[in-house]
Amino acid sequence: MILKGQGSGPLPPLLQQYVELRDAYPDYLLLFQVGDFYEAFGEDAERLSRALGITLTHKTSKDFTTPMAGIPIRSADSHLERLLKMGFRVGLAEQTEPVEAAEGLVRREVTQLLTPGTLTRENLLRPDANYLAAIATGEGYGVVFLEVSTGEFRGVVLYSKSALYDELFRNRPAEVLLAPELYANEAFREEFQRRFPLMVSSGSFDPQGARSALVQQFGMLPSGLDHPALERAAGAVLAYARTTQDGALPQVRGFARYDPSAYMQLSETTLRTLEVYDPSPVGSYGQLAPGEERTLMGVLGLTRTAPGRRLLKAWLRHPLLDEGPIQARLDAVEALVRDSVLREAVRRLLYRIHDLERLSGRLAAGRSNARDLAALARSLGLLPELKGQLLACEPLRVLGERLPLLGEVAERIGTALVEEPPLKITEGGLIKDGFDPTLDGHRERAEAGRTWIAGLEAAERSRTGIPSLKVGYNQVIGYYLEVTRPYYAQVPQDWRIIATLKDRQRYTRQDLREKEREILLAEEAGRKREYEVFQELREEVGRQAEEVREAALVLAELDVYAALAEVAARRGYTRPRFSSNRLLIRAGRHPVVEQHLEGGFIANDLEMSPEARLLILTGPNMSGKSTYLRQTALIALLSQIGSFVPAEEAVLPLFDRIYTRIGAADDIAGGRSTFMVEMEELAQILQGATAKSLVLLDEIGRGTSTYDGLSLAWAASEYLHDSVKALTLFATHYFELTALPETLPAARNYHVAAREEAGGLVFYHQVLPGPASKSYGLEVARLAGLPPEVLGRAGQLLAGLVARRDDLGQALVEELLALDLTRLTPLEALLKLQQLRAKLRPVALWEAAD
Ligand code: ADP
């Protein structure tokens, strides 16, 4: 128990209290309420002042001086938010008794612990899901996610580190608890922190403790947890969250184990390159403005409620694999696309509905305030109209049937609470007149007292004949009778003087004092009663928390359908159809890029099938190759979440995975070279892809020497074509690869049209059959404004490189000479010949292209 400071004496009582609380929560930065401020002392004051850039002062008492820094409680939220972002866990020690009631030192207790993953304070929460995650090992990785504000609690077992990273990336927790075996593993932790710059905490993962945390929560071990790592992670998450929530998490009702193979698998890389949630730092869309409008979420995010937004994000990370449920979603979207009146009406109503999911979380936890209940009642009041609309529309009927109305709850709150209750629930003004007879009684007594006092002025004026006599009130002396100087002589005997001002005096009377006391008592009793009534109401409504949550889920789903329908209608999307193995996209567009080109986007077709499953796409840089690849992936992704797609017609197979290897950004943070990243990604694709996958490759082998790169690209294409048989789009600047269709029966050449004209290269962004005719590298460089000297020199070098390729001819000659012809059968000889020719092919073609 030490506090930085100067002085020999014992700590004054206040600081003693501070140090005790501080030491009870060593992992937290303790903020200590002193009146209207949260203060920190000693070293923590220095940390706080450094972190927030606030003034450091000193607290000086008789024998001790210590550094002190503080923030006003009124504006605490923004400071707290910054502290959390900087990686502090914050504990709030608040005064838990009124200062007047305290005998000596005011009682203070730690009332809230704030960590990024366990927030429930409304002002600190974004509309997005805020997950606390835990990871433990043992027969794979057990990963568990908890959303404290809504009570969502689920987990999964994964068998590789890359699957683990993908899952974390998809769910983006705000804070992660690592089991000791991972926390203590420096290499792991370092890599982990680099990849996920979020708060990493340790937790209590021992199996015994985990089990008892679970039993304490659910009364028994919930099903789905029969796996050692999962059970430890689940227990650790609960225990940690519970300590931050005053020991209880009543909003967490059950655990759901999910199976990642039940959904389309999207890797971290794919989500990043497709810019589903975040714009890519490499800026794949050239000059487009940064920010969310550059992402798929930015295009689709027309949801009107926070639960809707969270659900849309969840759907995007978990596209479906089975046609049935996808068609059901598409039916709902289509109904809303067709009926614009219904869509408008639904969206208008949704706009007025509060975040019922989080409201239900606070209800279950008994933490709602009066404004929450008022918001709940207002929202519930809109449900009958919504339900009616859903029931009248066949594809939305099921949703309508699932929607609970909770009319009684709304009515109960409506009769009990005033329209706009205050934030504080202890200071009255919450409950309507006529709701509770006891409360009414208190109010009537107070009112009667006030009426009596109001009548006093007139009564005393006529009794004393003092025309300027007034009854007044102030905080310090309460009610008084006031008389100006000329009438002092007329003041009756039974008045007692309590204040003298320059030209007037204030008096009181015994019965006035008594009335005043009566009023105060009645008001106090009224406030107390209001609080009781409110608590009863809250408890009563809290019993319906589960149904409120169900309503929230139904509305979230509706919100997503309405948003997808709105996008589809605004941007002319079409309903996708599904086929077992064919892909046909007519006039497909990139949903994000098209929004920024305002009509200037060139739509493109694509046709693939088992007979044309490998598509080699050539064309100069900047012609639109990677845009074409991405738009294909995005159309597939959209189809499988049940959305309409940006195309005139789209028929697609149901993909089990979408793989992308696009762009060559160095993983600077990760410390891996471009080429290493590229090869790791390629390895994952070649190992993981199946005949039902969609594979998009852009510029493989860029990060290494031309020959290495070309050979790898060539071999990878062959492997994808022959063994994996995935539908593959391969955009490349290696013109040699356009020879692939000659040996691979299901490969096809396409190119993006561009033409040289007087002023230079003109891009048409149009995808056409056949290989591109020429490498435009130098041409693009000229367009970009490279100095003529550099261009000239590059031309010379190119010629030199071409000459060097002739060395390959030499190698082939040597191989020929080394053959033992006497040992070859005619068939083997023929095969050898074919092989040699295949090796020569790239060179021949390159030559032709030049
Ligand atoms: P590449 O991969 O061939 O280098 P990109 O796909 O990155 O080319 O496209 C380069 C730029 O061309 C993009 O920033 C975009 O503005 C534009 N672009 C791409 N495709 C189209 C298209 N279909 N219609 C109009 N503009 C396009």
Structural contact between residues 831 and 743, judged by C-beta atoms closer than 8 angstroms:
no
Q: Which of 285, 622, 734 has most ligand 1 atoms within 8 Å of its beta carbon, as the pocket-test mutant?
A: 622
Residue 454, Ramachandran bin (φ over 0: left; ψ between -120 and 50: alpha; else beta)? alpha
Q: In terms of pLDDT, which residue wins out, 96 or 333?
A: 333
What is the enclosing helix (H) or strand (E) of 749?
Answer: strand 747-757
Q: Is the pLDDT of residue 432 over 70?
A: yes
The interaxial angle of helices 545-571 and 323-338, nearest 10 deg, is 70
Backbone angles phi, psi at 244, to 5 degrees: -80, -15
Q: In terms of pLDDT, which residue wins out, 32 or 199?
A: 32
Helix (H, G, I), strand (E, B) or coil at 265: strand
Q: In terms of pLDDT, which residue wins out, 283 or 447?
A: 447
Q: Which of 273, 275, 627, 628 has most ligand 1 atoms within 8 Å of its beta carbon, as the pocket-test mutant?
A: 627
Q: Residue 698 and residue 34: Cα distance in Å, rounded?
A: 61
Q: Is the pLDDT of residue 141 over 70?
A: yes
Q: Residue 243 and residue 111: Cα distance in Å, rounded?
A: 11
Q: Is the pLDDT of residue 777 over 80?
A: no
Give burial (CB, 10 Å; 0-12/13-18/19+) of 628. buried
Structural contact between residues 568 and 644, judged by C-beta atoms closer than 8 angstroms:
yes
Q: Would the CB of 622 count as within 6 Å of ligand 1?
A: yes
Helix (H, G, I), strand (E, B) or coil at 698: strand
According to the model, what pLDDT value does residue 800 have?
Answer: 66
According to the model, what pLDDT value does residue 849 have?
Answer: 47
Residue pLDDT, tens place only, 833-844? 888 777 766 555
Residue pLDDT, tens place only, 164-199? 998 999 898 999 999 999 999 999 999 898 888 888
Residue 616, Ramachandran bin (φ over 0: left; ψ between -120 and 50: alpha; else beta)? beta
According to the model, what pLDDT value does residue 101 have?
Answer: 74
Structural contact between residues 721 and 613, judged by C-beta atoms closer than 8 angstroms:
yes
Residue pLDDT, tens place only, 306-351? 999 999 999 999 999 999 999 999 999 999 999 999 999 999 999 9
397 alpha carbon – ligand 1 mean position (Å): 43
Q: Residue 636 and residue 691: Cα distance in Å, rounded?
A: 15
Structural contact between residues 225 and 156, judged by C-beta atoms closer than 8 angstroms:
no
Structural contact between residues 580 and 655, judged by C-beta atoms closer than 8 angstroms:
no
According to the model, what pLDDT value does residue 802 have?
Answer: 61
Residue pLDDT, tens place only, 712-754? 889 999 999 999 999 999 998 778 888 899 899 999 999 888 7
Q: Are strands 583-588 and 604-608 parallel, antiparallel or unpaired?
A: antiparallel
Residue type, 139: E
Beta bridge mates, 586: 649
The C-alpha angle with vertex 458 and arms to 457 and 464, in degrees rounded to 5, equals 85
Count of residues making up the chain: 850
Q: Is the pLDDT of residue 706 over 80?
A: no
Q: Would the CB of 840 count as within 6 Å of ligand 1?
A: no
Q: Which of 275, 285, 589, 593 has most ligand 1 atoms within 8 Å of its beta carbon, as the pocket-test mutant?
A: 593
Nearest in space to 230 (alpha carbons), one of 349, 299, 306, 133: 133
Pinpoint the alpha helices (H) of 543-621.
Answer: 545-571, 593-597
Q: Among the atoms of ligand 1, which is closest to the Cα of residue 604?
A: 23
State the pTM of this model. 0.82
According to the model, what pLDDT value does residue 666 have?
Answer: 46
Structural contact between residues 660 and 274, judged by C-beta atoms closer than 8 angstroms:
yes
Mean pLDDT of the chain, nearest integer: 88
Q: Is the pLDDT of residue 637 over 50?
A: yes
Helix (H, G, I), strand (E, B) or coil at 762: strand
Q: Would the CB of 595 count as within 6 Å of ligand 1?
A: no
According to the model, what pLDDT value does residue 537 have?
Answer: 95
According to the model, what pLDDT value does residue 281 have?
Answer: 62
764 alpha carbon – ligand 1 mean position (Å): 9
Give burial (CB, 10 Å; 0-12/13-18/19+) of 758. exposed
Q: Residue 632 and residue 644: Cα distance in Å, rounded?
A: 14
Q: Would the CB of 765 count as within 6 Å of ligand 1?
A: yes
According to the model, what pLDDT value does residue 290 have?
Answer: 54
Q: How confident is the model at residue 669 (pLDDT cuts 50, 70, 90)?
A: very low
Residue listed under structure tokens 């949550």: 549
Residue pLDDT, tens place only, 476-485? 888 999 999 9
Q: Residue 295 and residue 289: Cα distance in Å, rounded?
A: 11
According to the model, what pLDDT value does residue 844 have?
Answer: 56
Query: Percent of the chain scored above 70 by pLDDT?
Result: 92
832 alpha carbon – ligand 1 mean position (Å): 42
> Which residue has the least CA distance to atom 20 on ligand 1?
624
- How far apart, in Å, are the Cα atoms of 771 and each of 493, 611, 754? 113, 18, 12
Q: Among the atoms of ligand 1, which is closest to the Cα of residue 621?
A: 4
Q: Is the pLDDT of residue 52 over 60?
A: yes
Q: Is the pLDDT of residue 102 over 80?
A: no
Q: How confident is the model at residue 148 (pLDDT cuts 50, 70, 90)?
A: very high
Q: In terms of pLDDT, which residue wins out, 126 or 798?
A: 126
763 alpha carbon – ligand 1 mean position (Å): 9
According to the model, what pLDDT value does residue 287 have?
Answer: 47
Q: For residue 830, what are the contacts with CB-CB under 8 A and spacing of at least 6? A: none
Q: In terms of pLDDT, which residue wins out, 810 or 554?
A: 554
Q: Are strands 614-618 and 747-757 parallel, antiparallel or unpaired?
A: parallel
Mean pLDDT of 372-394: 95
> Which residue has the least CA distance to atom 18 on ligand 1?
624
Q: Is the pLDDT of residue 112 over 60?
A: yes
Q: How confident is the model at residue 452 (pLDDT cuts 50, 70, 90)?
A: very high
Backbone angles phi, psi at 403, to 5 degrees: -75, 115
Q: Is the pLDDT of residue 703 over 70?
A: no
According to the model, what pLDDT value does residue 247 have?
Answer: 78
According to the model, what pLDDT value does residue 1 have?
Answer: 57
Residue listed under structure tokens 């209800």: 363
According to the model, what pLDDT value does residue 490 have?
Answer: 87
According to the model, what pLDDT value does residue 550 have?
Answer: 94
Q: How confident is the model at residue 671 (pLDDT cuts 50, 70, 90)?
A: low
According to the model, what pLDDT value does residue 18 have?
Answer: 93
